[in-house]
Amino acid sequence: MRDADRFYINGEWVEPTTSGTMDVLDPSTEKPIATVALGGAEDVDRAVKAARAAFETFSTTSVAERIALLERIIEVYQTRGEDLARTLMAELGAPAALANSAQVGAGLGQFASALDALKNFQFDEDRGTTRIRYEAIGVCGLITPWNWPPLLIAAKIAPALAAGCTVVLKPSELAPLNAVIIAEVLHEAGVPAGVFNLVHGDGAGVGTALTSHPDVDMVSFTGSTRAGVEVARSAAPTVKRVAQELGGKSANVLLDDVDLATAIPRDMGDVCANSGQSCNAGSRWLVPQSRLSEAEEIAKKAAEAIVVGHPEDEGVAIGPLISQAAYDKVQRLIQSALDQGATLVAGGLGRPEGLDSGYFVRPTILTGVTNEMEIWKEEIFGPVITLTAYSDDDEAVRLANDTVYGLSGFVSSADVERARSVARRLRTGMVHVNGNGLDFAGAFGGYKQSGNGREYADFGLKEFLEIKTIFGFGS
């Protein structure tokens, strides 16, 4: 693996102004594979100045020019898919199948989604003699996490470029290497100098400098709710727009008429994909009291069938968690649930058998979980599912909504109209009915402490646009 020891600013790879570095670890071996530079306020200022200068020209480009640019990005991205997959296997521990298909493919899907939105978006609208005009918001600070990096980076860069904005990206310092490849893709595709800039670093050194910078017009952040609060505080004095996709504790409502033998293995795979490290994972399962024993038995078999291991090994479904801190948190929450009265159905504490190093976690099922337990309330970010019994649909909805989060939700029923009825009652930004997955034509984002704003398609494009009203334009 190459080091992430330089920053991409104003169309060039430049040396950091700081000397701090950090090891990038392979989470399946716990060994260093590269070094990432930790930038500071001066590096951020250089990048923002480059983006501000480039905005004067890039914001005036035509829709046709930006369509052509996104088409070139997509073309070059496809040539680097294998490089991205190998990098994600190393810095995330992502199994080969996940890295090659879902991880790399999701990034490509976001560029394609933004391209489609740009082709169909009306930047000017007349209402009588009044013209409504959508214009690029300006310089955007983009902060992305490590769990789905190509997806989350592309979900911000692509609509920002489509809108005519310029950007400064701070990827996660835990998995920065894929961002270097994406920067190379953008450079090869001909993104003008200063339009895209990349500064590596941590939240204290780079994130705060970026979110508080007076020449940054907007911040788009994906990460924990705790970190999102700090981003909002940092951005508040300059009254910049802040779009946030934050934490989740999504409920999966299995109604009493559902085929559990089909739904449970399907939904188990969804939660455990990417080692459970997805903000929208439906990890709180709500099961009819009359069918709880049946659900426990099926869930146990499904969990025990999941193969955990090193990313290059044959048949591996899930790899390690990202870090020691992530591993420790999952272990703590499992222990907390057991201490508070939950019953272990499958998995449990420690690494899976045969794995003596790496941040590997057992796919775990806990039953008898109540809404007073810590594991009910706190986002776990691991392959851990809780089972809670309910008496009727009203109680299921009440329990599903009993959380400070509101990112996603899941509901399954043999009666699709009944499932739709429950879906409408869930206080979440997204709901998956009968196992249907994400659609990049939809809007991604949540209610309550799961954030504000939306990503994907035209919803994501609008986040990077200001609205100008010109009265008397047509008089």
User: What is residue 384's predicted lDDT score, i.e. its pLDDT?
Assistant: 98
Rounded Cα distance between 417 and 73, Å, is: 42
Half-sphere exposure of residue 384: CA atoms within 13 angstroms, side-chain side: 32
Residue 2: pLDDT band by 50, 70, 90 thresholds?
confident
Rounded Cα distance between 313 and 307, Å, is: 10
In the chain, % of residues over pLDDT 70: 100
pLDDT of residue 475 exceeding 90, the answer is: no
Tokens of 281: 């994972």
Q: Which of 91, 245, 455, 463 is catalytic?
A: 245
Q: Which of 279, 296, 379, 455 is catalytic?
A: 279
Rounded Cα distance between 438 and 419, Å, is: 17
For 76, the enclosing helix (H) or strand (E) is helix 63-79
Told to judge if 184 belongs to the known catalytic residues of this protein, a careful annotator would answer no
Q: Per-residue pLDDT averaged across 174-183, rounded?
A: 98
Q: Per-residue pLDDT averaged across 152-162, rounded?
A: 98
Q: CB–CB of 131/35 below 8 Å?
A: no
CA 155 from centroid of its chain's CA atoms: 9
Rounded Cα distance between 110 and 425, Å, is: 29
User: What is the chain's mean pLDDT, rounded?
Assistant: 97
Q: Per-residue pLDDT averaged across 110-121, rounded?
A: 98
Tokens of 405: 């989060």
Q: Per-residue pLDDT averaged across 166-190, rounded?
A: 98
Which tens digit of pLDDT belongs to each residue from 422-468? Answer: 999 999 999 999 999 999 999 999 999 999 999 999 999 999 999 99
Which tens digit of pLDDT belongs to each residue from 242-263? Answer: 999 999 999 999 999 999 999 9
Which tens digit of pLDDT belongs to each residue from 297-335? Answer: 999 999 999 999 999 999 999 999 999 999 999 999 999
Q: Per-residue pLDDT averaged across 143-163, rounded?
A: 98
For 421, the enclosing helix (H) or strand (E) is helix 416-425
In the chain, % of residues over pLDDT 90: 99
Q: Exposure of 232 by Cβ count < 10 A (0-12 exposed, 13-18 middle, 19+ buried)?
A: middle
Which tens digit of pLDDT belongs to each residue from 200-250? Answer: 999 999 999 999 999 999 999 999 999 999 999 999 999 999 999 999 999
Tokens of 63: 């829709």
Told to judge if 294 belongs to the known catalytic residues of this protein, a careful annotator would answer no
Phi first, then psi, for residue 469 (nearest 5°) are -110, 125
Rounded Cα distance between 374 and 334, Å, is: 10
User: What is residue 13's predicted lDDT score, i.e. its pLDDT?
Assistant: 98
* The 218-222 sheet, strands edge to edge: 12-14, 7-9, 196-198, 166-170, 139-143, 218-222, 241-245, 451-452
Residue 5: pLDDT band by 50, 70, 90 thresholds?
very high
Tell me the Cα Rg of the chain.
23
pLDDT of residue 1 exceeding 90, the answer is: no
Rounded Cα distance between 217 and 196, Å, is: 15
pTM, to two decimals: 0.97
Q: Which of 465, 470, 441 is nearest to 164 (CA)?
A: 465
**Strand 12-14, strand 7-9: pairing:** antiparallel
pLDDT of residue 351 exceeding 80, the answer is: yes
Q: Per-residue pLDDT averaged across 152-174, rounded?
A: 98
Q: Which of 317, 320, 296, 294 is nearest to 305 (CA)?
A: 317
Total residues found in the chain within this entry: 475
User: What is residue 215's predicted lDDT score, i.e. its pLDDT?
Assistant: 98
Which tens digit of pLDDT belongs to each residue from 31-78? Answer: 999 999 999 999 999 999 999 999 999 999 999 999 999 999 999 999
CA torsion through residues 368, 374, 380, 382, sign: negative
CA torsion through residues 50, 56, 57, 58, sign: positive
* Proportion of the chain in helix, strand, coil states, percent, rounded to 5: 40, 20, 35
User: What is residue 447's predicted lDDT score, i.e. its pLDDT?
Assistant: 98
